[in-house]
Amino acid sequence: MLIKLKNVNFTYMSNTPLAQRALENVSLSISAGEFVGLIGPTGSGKSTLVQHLNGLLEPLEGEVLIEGKKIGGEISPLLVRQKIGLVFQFPESQLFEETVFKDIAFGLRNLGYPDDEIEGRVRKALAMVGLDYFEFKDRSPFTLSGGEMRRVAIAGVLAMNPSCLVLDEPTSGLDSIGTREIISHLERLNREEGLTIILISHDMDEVAHLASRVIVMNEGKIEFDDSPRRVFSQKSDLLKIGLDIPQFTSLLFMLKEGGLDVPLALFELNEVKNAIVSALERRFS
């Protein structure tokens, strides 16, 4: 098991009058190679949860195990941070070096890697996000488009060769082209490189399309943890906690209420079209 949380409790500013409970008895396991979508309303504990995965926060109670080893005891937070790469919201705001190469190499240099290994890793990281090494290595990060800047920031995390990539809203604020670029690379990294991915998103369509498992958080607790089809069939529960269902799923719910015999939890254009066509054919035959 790559990641295991056992009965994790966390409270911000505990033992003060301002104490705020953020995680309540959270247990979950994530295996290598999974693509997990993590959704929940603002303040539901998603960011607190992922900061536990790489030792940025320590549980008040319970434990977090990475590859079976307890963070802080059997494995140091420093090593955990190389294994679990965290990409924050708007990561491009953390670019600071003169060139793309130097920016991606920054973490590796701090860890004392030799020059030739750094070059190899930077090359590979850029390739993983679909940017050409020779075209981009000497450019200033600040001359890149929004989508490119964000991919460089992700490459900086990939260069550490993590087993798991955690991304907090990686497409927010990007246009449709930038969004598509990021999404297609995440899909490929998961499918072809076997990289485990945990994606936090407020975009239900994006999560339905990408994830093979969806975890729903609400008020510090895990509300659902199941396949996208099962989770997004829970329309009323999701709406009640301030979430939503994918747009095509909404359409299918409306069609069903309107008397068309369609399945509910479909997300992709073609499968939705086919389901509607066959429901209409049945109705007219």
Partner 1 sequence: MIKISNLTHAYKQADHAIVALDDISLDIHEGEFIVFVGRNGSGKSTLAKHLNGLLTPTKGTVEVDGMGTHLEENLWKVRQRVGMIFQNPDNQIVATIVEEDVAFGPENLGIPQGEIRERVDDALKSVHMLEYARFEPHLLSGGQKQRVAIAGVLAMKPKYLILDEPTSMLDPRGKREVLETIRKLNSEQGVTVVLITHSMDEAIYADRVVAMDCGSIVLDAPPREFFDETKLLKEIGINLPPAALLSRELKKESYDLKKALSIEELAGTLCSLN
CB of 176 or CB of 236, closer to partner 1: 176
Minimum CB–partner distance for residue 190 and partner 1 (Å): 23
Minimum CB–partner distance for residue 85 and partner 1 (Å): 22
b vs e for 202-228, b when ≥16 Cβ sit within 10 Å of the residue's Cβ?
ebbbbbbebbebbbbbbebebbbbeeb
CB of 64 or CB of 243, closer to partner 1: 243
Minimum CB–partner distance for residue 136 and partner 1 (Å): 17
Per-residue tokens: 78: 């420093």
Minimum CB–partner distance for residue 145 and partner 1 (Å): 6
Minimum CB–partner distance for residue 62 and partner 1 (Å): 26
Minimum CB–partner distance for residue 148 and partner 1 (Å): 10
Cα gap 115→128, rounded to integer Å: 20
Minimum CB–partner distance for residue 99 and partner 1 (Å): 17
DSSP code for 213: E
Per-residue tokens: 51: 């900061």
Per-residue tokens: 30: 């994530």
Per-residue tokens: 37: 């979508």
CB of 110 or CB of 176, closer to partner 1: 176
CB of 56 or CB of 241, closer to partner 1: 241
Q: Which amino acid is at 198?
A: I
CB of 135 or CB of 268, closer to partner 1: 268
DSSP SS3 for 112: coil
Give the CB-side neighbour count of residue 1, counting CA atoms within 13 A.
13
Per-residue tokens: 248: 């095509």
Q: Which amino acid is at 36?
A: V
CB of 136 or CB of 164, closer to partner 1: 136
Minimum CB–partner distance for residue 216 and partner 1 (Å): 12
CB of 164 or CB of 248, closer to partner 1: 248
CB of 55 or CB of 147, closer to partner 1: 147
Cβ–Cβ under 8 Å, residues 212 and 228: yes
Chain residues binding partner 1 by CB under 8 A are 40-43, 89, 145-147, 169, 172-179, 202, 204-205, 242-244, 247-248, 250-251, 254-255, 258-260, 269-270, 272-273, 276-277, 280
Cα gap 170→182, rounded to integer Å: 8
DSSP code for 169: S
Can you list the positions of beta strands (E) in the chain? Answer: 3-12, 20-30, 35-39, 61-66, 69-70, 84-87, 164-168, 196-200, 213-218, 221-226
